[in-house]
Amino acid sequence: MSYLLPALSAVIERRLLINYRLDASVAADMLPEGLRPQLVQGDAVAGVCLIRLGGLRASWMPAALGWGAENAAHRIAVEWDDESGVQRGVYIPVRHSASRLPVLVGGRLFPGVHRHARFTGSETAHRIRVELEASDLRVSADVAVVSEWRSGLFPTIDDASAFFRAGSTGWSPRRGSAGLDGLTLETEQWSVEPGRLLHVESSFFDALPEGAAVLDSVLVMRDVPIVWRQPVSPDFAANRRERRVELGAA
């Protein structure tokens, strides 16, 4: 994969991947041209990523000069076609941050348009609470960190871990123009723990038709060093048209 900007380094201090089973037709209607839902047992997979970053900086800078903030992304697992075949990642229709920096430069100097939000919460080794309040969105999550895995989508936590690690590139709408901006997360220390959903609300998913989005599971990540790179965006629409031609020829 080709990349545009120099790499950014950071540490995931805490990340909650709160996952929903989403009706496939509802998911398809939410995606831009060229992307399709990635299905598991006939359902789309969507969710909320609540992530606290530390030490975010250009990779050549010392960690002491990095900054950190709470961030959130609502996501849908997707597939698309390029010259190498089928690729997997996530589509992120909306991003939020507690920091004014990504709100100001997101979609300009940094990929991804961000909206400002206020985050509150508390955290212990065994319990994580996060609340997000924004002008357009509200999220409330209360998660217990446990040893037992429960999910209707993924039989084991290893299955869930592999699924989300493979979907490491996120695409979001580009500021002021057609097309998508991307970010690819890389790490050699990928590690997840199972969580139990004690209470979760998202006005984004709650606004969908009744029964379209059903809570499934949550993964917890803590103290994971990462690198972010900006991939060159494929021409999704052109790839989709080419795919249709191939299918018609067959």
Structure tokens at 178: 């057609």
DSSP bridge partners of 243: none
pLDDT computed for residue 114 by the predictor:
84
pLDDT digits (tens, 9 = 90+) for 90-120: 999 999 999 866 666 555 556 667 889 999 9
Cβ atoms of 154 and 167 within 8 Å: the answer is: no
Q: For residue range 220-235, list pLDDT tens digits in order.
A: 999 999 998 888 777 7
Per-residue confidence (pLDDT) for residue 220, from 0 to 100: 98
Per-residue pLDDT of the chain (250 residues), as tens digits, is 544 567 889 999 999 999 999 999 999 999 999 999 999 999 999 999 999 999 888 777 877 777 788 999 999 999 999 888 999 999 999 999 998 666 665 555 566 678 899 999 999 999 999 999 999 999 999 999 999 999 999 999 999 999 999 999 999 988 776 788 889 999 999 999 999 999 999 999 999 999 999 999 999 999 999 998 888 777 765 444 444 434 344 4
Question: How does DSSP assign 96-158, residue by residue?
Answer: EESSHHHHHHBTTTBSS-EEE-EEEEEE-SSEEEEEEE-SS-EEEEEEEE-S----SS-SSHH
pTM, two decimals, is 0.88
Look at residue 88 in the predicted model and tell me its pLDDT: 96
Report whether 40 contacts 20 (CB < 8 A). no
| Cα–Cα dist 119/96, whole Å | 10
Q: Which region, left, alpha or beta, applies to residue 121 given φ > 0 means left and ψ of -120 to 50 means alpha? A: left
DSSP string, 210-223: TTSEEEEEEEEE-S
DSSP letter, residue 189: -
CB 14 within 8 A of CB 37: no
